[in-house]
Structure 1
Amino acid sequence: MRMSQLFAPTLRENPHEAEVVSHQLLTRAGYIRQIARGIYNYLPLMQRVMKKVEAIVREEMDRAGAQELLMPIMQPADLWIESGRWAVYGKELIRFKDRHDRDCVLGPTHEEVITSTANNGIHSYKQLPVNLYQIQNKYRDEVRPRFGLLRGREFIMKDAYSFHTSQADLEREYDVMAEAYRRIFLRCGLDTRMVQSDSGAIGGAVSHEFMVLTQTHSGEDDVYYCDSCGYAANGERAESILPDATVDGQAIFGTTEQVVDTPDCDDIESLTKCLKMPASLICKALLYIKDETMPFLVFIRGDLEAEEIKVQNAVAANHIRLADADEVAEFAHSAKGYVGVAGWRMCNEELPGFEGRVSLVYRAEHLKEYHLQLPVLLDSSVLNLKNFAMANNEIGKHVVGYNWPHDRASQELLETNTFDLKRARAGDQCPTCLAELNMTRGIEVGNIFQLGTKYSEAMSATYTDEDGTEKHFVMGCYGIGISRTAAAAVERYHDQDGIAWPIPIAPYVVSVVPVNADDQTQWTLAKQLYDDLQAAGVEAVIDDRDERAGVKFKDSELMGFPIRVTVGKKAADGVLEVKLREGGDVKELPAAEVLPYIRSLVEEATDFAKLEARFKAGQPAAAGAAS
């Protein structure tokens, strides 16, 4: 490709809406252009990167035994109604009516379509297991599209779905897919960490995400991990053990329960100052609304934050939110910061909407005219509090020296309704080995799920087993964000001058730059090298533009071509300069040695065993690592 012909409109400045490096550089370097919020044109350079990533994904999925198909983007709502997700998916699902007034969706995922496909095409256990995948555009109407390709409304994704006769066979395939993902991301130059995750709208009992770890704000997810035993989970799923599990306020409050004045103390910070105590001695009560109609309380220690995904799962909600001021007044007869149950009666009862989930109910029998009763969940952090502080459900008042009832029935009721609801913290203890937990940020590039029979039961998708009985398919699903993977590579490989693509996914591997294209010696040598690279299967661009050398160098660095060959003043002596984009290593080589050297770099960067060894040694995967 001649640079004079390449459609890659560059920008000098970062676009004002671009918050993260990948969005900034992919726009400035002429890879993408935004046409609406969260919707982008992929220009020729970006399309080449995407095809490189897709090719790696296809090779590894095929190697793992999966088969490629293509399903429709437009899906009938009937399938979503049948699975039960039509009513619960949320506003991210793009819904519309066709000309015949039939409800349809633009697919964010394809569990419904593939389950229907399997049900129509797989009839016997002899046809199982099978793993089917596609690479296709997906659509989610994000509330706040941001971070460029990392969170858009339209994106490219590989989604695979496997069908099995047993949970054991699903688990076998799950491990096969996990290994395939590890290979895919390593080949793309990304060292990922597989972490436990919440299954979210996809569902299933077990799921993991593949995270590219980063300390930048482009990492949307917290990742907690243990260097001692290997435990790793995202912030929504991470469990931890508190180093100070038991906290006793006897030295501050004594052992006698009393009501104290706490004017203007509607948050933890002001309350700790007023009572001169640590936040860990406070039991705060959070009033949530389940599915817009059902209020409930969460008790958690004052120095901790509730992880709302854990809370949502504990009460089996489609959606939860904190109550507003009017709802606090209606359901708790209180105000923000003063919700508590001191003086309320503890009951063992399951209220509608919480059956099988929560059996602890507090009733305000001293306020009978308001008919106040609330289901209560306890985070494990509050069970070991002693002589602590809690709001009194009266504005400007708190109870101190409070203790949970000690009788056996009450203790059992409290323990039965205790969950892990807190967000883990760096420095907490690992739930597996008690070593210290670390925390970093991560970019999710892939996920895998053990769906079990969630969809096959809902959609009556069955096969005939060996014994002649009809059984539901046991399913798994496996996703990779193709566009997210490319963007994550930019987040990982860049510097102040631009992108530094790993060789396997670079749009072009080599940029040949004659300093003066009007110099016949330079041009002849540059053109010969370019032709030789093309003949050897090494993708290259030659900068034939009538521009200053500095402009050519800047564009080459901004666009991130892994190897730059400069044909300059020493061309008359047959000497060329080879510079690696990652690391900046420079070599002057006789022209005859340049192609063999470049080929060796490409072979190093695409040899999986060598690539894996470099990652284990902590070396980068871009071109600079191969020298």
Structure 2
Amino acid sequence: MKLSKLVGDRFKERPANCLIDSHALMVRGGYIKNVANGIYSQFPPMKRISQKIENIIRDEMDKIDGQEVLFPVTLPGSLWEESGRYESVGSELLRFTDRTGSKMVLGMTHEEASVQLVREYANSYAKYPFMIYQIQTKFRDEARPRAGLIRVREFTMKDAYSFHTSQEDLEQYYQRCYDAYNRIFARCGIPEVAVVKSDSGMMGGSISHEYMLLTAAGEDSIAICPECGYSANVEAAPSIVKNENTIAKEELKEVATPGTGTIEELCEFLHIPAENTAKAVVYQRNADDSYVVAFIRGDLDINETKLTNALGCEIHPAVIEDDSVLTAGFIGPVGINEKVTVLFDNSLKDIDYLVTGANKVDTHYTGFNVERDCPNAKYFDLAKIVEGGICPQCGKPHITISRGIEVGNIFQLGTKYSKAMGFKYTDENGEEQYPIMGCYGIGVGRMAASICEVRHDDYGPIWPITIAPWQVHLCCLRSDDAECKEFADNLYNTLQNKGIEVIYDDRKARPGAMFADADLLGVPVRVVVSPRNLKESVVELSTRDKSIQKKVPMNEIEQEVDNVIKQLTDSIYEKVK
């Protein structure tokens, strides 16, 4: 490809609306262009990167007996009604009606479509196990798209679905996918991806893992124990706290606490630590706006995902009106309105003395003891795990919290979808059974943007050679010099004929502009042809990461380019297990 003909411009200035580096570099480098909020077109460099990622994914999926299929982007709403998700999924599912008035959706995930495809075919145990996968456009009506391709509304994704006749068989295949994902990320140049336990969310199922690329730009928080290697998304990580009773047990007593609507104000007024308060966090059910109050130790925060799972329904932060059954700032479990659903976090167990709201303005209870004053209390793990918290695996207080980008996920779905959609097979005894499913996803564009986020410098991306848009960036510094241009042209043709992917900067541009564009394109190997070097019978060869910088004799440049490409490729595959 000649750079003079490459569609898309590159420019120096950082766009004002790009909050993270990968987004800014992809816009500046001519990779993507915004079409609408969270929707992008891809210029040729990005398309080439995406194709290479897809080919690596296909290769690894085929190696574990995957069969590629293709589901529609547009699906009948009736399929999602079968699974129960047409109503249960929120506004991120784009619903519409066609010209006949039929309900339709844009597929944000394809569990329903996968079941619909195979439920007539897979009617006998002899057809199992099998896995089907697709690489397809999806649409999720994300409320807050951000960070370029990392959080979008329209995206390309590989999703796979496996079908089994036993939990044991699913677990064996789940491990094969687990290992295949590790190979995919290593082949794409990010072997450091961490595998963490996760919450299954709307997907359902009991076991799930996320593949997280740790970076400060990540949206997810990951709990990691450097002592034993435990890792989990904070949404799924159990919160374990040690309660040290610093105040002796007393009788429950109502006290006036004017102007203490927050935990900080209350602690200052009564001269007690936050660990001896029971904080009320209030939500409402989406379905009917009924109130839910979660009580938690005052120094901790509620994990909304855990609370949603405990309730089994979607919720939102509460709006407490003046005529509400709740008294904002002074809510407590003793005497709370019976219409309110009350849950207690595990952090309140075994604390002799707590201060909590008395459900009256400017009034609290001191001496509150959950076991004594609320004997029917039900405890749940509702708190966010914290920095320095106790590790659920080794029991040591060494938890650290890091940020990460989710680049892939795998789920053991069980029979959630097969049961809901009436999908059965006949086993070897002639009895009907529900197939057990697994689900495995990777976002292609998100992975490319994530790689850019962790593989760049101040000047542009540093693409791993396995997914780079081209392998070699050839610069002719003086295309108006006949000898220089002739050598560069011949080298370009020779490399291409050898099957090497080359982007050739043949423009009449200043060297500084050429090198700036080369940095933005991030091609791993750079070859510079100039009149000065040709007088010395050499060509400059370097790598984008600056690990190699040397002058090569003109008659050896083709072989040396081959050698460097092999060296860079081998360095990636050394990390593939």
Q: TM-score, normalised by structure 2?
A: 0.96
Aligned to 1:14: 14
Aligned to 2:272: 277
Distance 2:114 2:365 in 1: 56
Aligned to 1:142: 142
Aligned to 2:383: 422
Report the Cα offset of residue 534 of structure 1.
Answer: 1.2
CA separation of 1:223/1:583 partners in 2, compared to 1, >3 Å: closer, same or farther? farther
Distance 2:546 2:354 in 1: 56
Q: Please tell me whether the aligned partners of residues 158 and 480 of structure 1 are also in contact (alpha carbons under 8 angstroms).
A: yes
CA separation of 1:475/1:139 partners in 2, compared to 1, >3 Å: closer, same or farther? same
CA deviations over 1:306-358 (Å, ceiling 9, x no partner): 000100100111x11222121x85233x1x2111123x2xxxxxxxxxxxxxx
Q: Please tell me whether the aligned partners of residues 187 and 606 of structure 1 are also in contact (alpha carbons under 8 angstroms).
A: no
Distance 2:158 2:258 in 1: 56
Q: What secondary structure sits across from 2:60 in the alignment?
A: helix
CA deviations over 1:374-417 (Å, ceiling 9, x no partner): 3321111011222121111111122222223449xx65x33xx1
Report the Cα offset of residue 274 of structure 1.
Answer: 1.9
Q: Please tell me whether the aligned partners of residues 284 and 301 of structure 1 are also in contact (alpha carbons under 8 angstroms).
A: yes
Aligned to 2:454: 492
Q: Please tell me whether the aligned partners of residues 183 and 576 of structure 2 are also in contact (alpha carbons under 8 angstroms).
A: no
Q: What secondary structure sits across from 2:325 in the alignment?
A: helix
> Following superposition of structure 1 onto structure 2, how do residues 378-527 of structure 1 map, counting pairs within 5 Å?
378-406=344-372, 413-414=376-377, 417-435=378-396, 436-527=398-489
Q: Which amino acid aligns with 1:53?
A: I
Q: What secondary structure sits across from 1:92 in the alignment?
A: coil
CA deviations over 1:208-241 (Å, ceiling 9, x no partner): 11111112xx301001112222221112111132
Aligned to 1:351: none
Distance 2:301 2:473 in 1: 51
Q: Which amino acid aligns with 1:596?
A: Q
Aligned to 1:98: 98
Matched, 1:331 2:353: no
Distance 1:596 1:240 in 2: 57
Matched, 1:235 2:234: yes
Q: Which amino acid aligns with 2:162?
A: S
CA deviations over 1:258-294 (Å, ceiling 9, x no partner): 3333222211222222222221111111222223423
> Following superposition of structure 1 onto structure 2, how do residues 296-307 of structure 1 map, counting pairs within 5 Å?
296-307=292-303
Distance 1:37 1:177 in 2: 33
CA separation of 1:338/1:615 partners in 2, compared to 1, >3 Å: closer, same or farther? farther
Q: Which amino acid aligns with 1:281?
A: N
Aligned-residue sequence identity (percent) comes to 42
Q: Please tell me whether the aligned partners of residues 256 and 362 of structure 2 are also in contact (alpha carbons under 8 angstroms).
A: yes
Distance 1:329 1:60 in 2: 60
Q: Which amino acid aligns with 2:246?
A: D
> Following superposition of structure 1 onto structure 2, how do residues 17-56 of structure 1 map, counting pairs within 5 Å?
17-56=17-56
Distance 2:136 2:169 in 1: 27
Q: What secondary structure sits across from 1:4 in the alignment?
A: helix
Distance 1:585 1:578 in 2: 8
CA separation of 1:147/1:68 partners in 2, compared to 1, >3 Å: closer, same or farther? same
Matched, 1:315 2:276: no
Which of 560, 571, 577 is the aligned partner of 1:597? 560
* Structure 1 segments unaligned to the other structure (5+ residues): 345-362, 365-371, 617-627
Report the Cα offset of residue 566 of structure 1.
Answer: 1.2
Distance 1:71 1:385 in 2: 54
Q: Which amino acid aligns with 1:247?
A: N
Distance 1:566 1:484 in 2: 32
Q: Which amino acid aligns with 1:239?
A: P
CA separation of 1:329/1:275 partners in 2, compared to 1, >3 Å: closer, same or farther? farther
* Structure 2 segments unaligned to the other structure (5+ residues): none
Distance 1:331 1:590 in 2: 84
Aligned to 2:200: 199
Q: Please tell me whether the aligned partners of residues 187 and 576 of structure 2 are also in contact (alpha carbons under 8 angstroms).
A: no
Matched, 1:84 2:84: yes
CA RMSD of aligned residues (A): 1.8
Q: What secondary structure sits across from 2:239 in the alignment?
A: coil
Report the Cα offset of residue 448 of structure 1.
Answer: 0.6
Q: What secondary structure sits across from 1:450 in the alignment?
A: strand
Distance 2:371 2:468 in 1: 65
CA deviations over 1:537-561 (Å, ceiling 9, x no partner): 2211111101111100000001111
Distance 1:231 1:314 in 2: 24
Q: Please tell me whether the aligned partners of residues 38 and 146 of structure 1 are also in contact (alpha carbons under 8 angstroms).
A: yes
CA deviations over 1:174-210 (Å, ceiling 9, x no partner): 1111111110111111121111111111111111111
Distance 2:60 2:160 in 1: 12
Q: Which amino acid aligns with 2:295?
A: F
Q: Please tell me whether the aligned partners of residues 248 and 388 of structure 1 are also in contact (alpha carbons under 8 angstroms).
A: no
Q: Which amino acid aligns with 1:301?
A: R
Aligned to 1:620: none
Q: Please tell me whether the aligned partners of residues 134 and 160 of structure 1 are also in contact (alpha carbons under 8 angstroms).
A: yes
Report the Cα offset of residue 605 of structure 1.
Answer: 3.5
Aligned to 1:625: none
Q: Please tell me whether the aligned partners of residues 226 and 430 of structure 1 are also in contact (alpha carbons under 8 angstroms).
A: yes
Report the Cα offset of residue 16 of structure 1.
Answer: 2.5
Distance 1:533 1:302 in 2: 66
Q: TM-score, normalised by structure 1?
A: 0.88
Q: How many residues of Structure 1 are paired with residues of Structure 2 in the alignment?
A: 573
Q: Please tell me whether the aligned partners of residues 564 and 578 of structure 1 are also in contact (alpha carbons under 8 angstroms).
A: yes
CA separation of 1:235/1:512 partners in 2, compared to 1, >3 Å: closer, same or farther? same
Q: What secondary structure sits across from 2:120 in the alignment?
A: helix
Q: Which amino acid aligns with 2:211?
A: F
Report the Cα offset of residue 615 of structure 1.
Answer: 8.5
Q: Which amino acid aligns with 1:511?
A: H
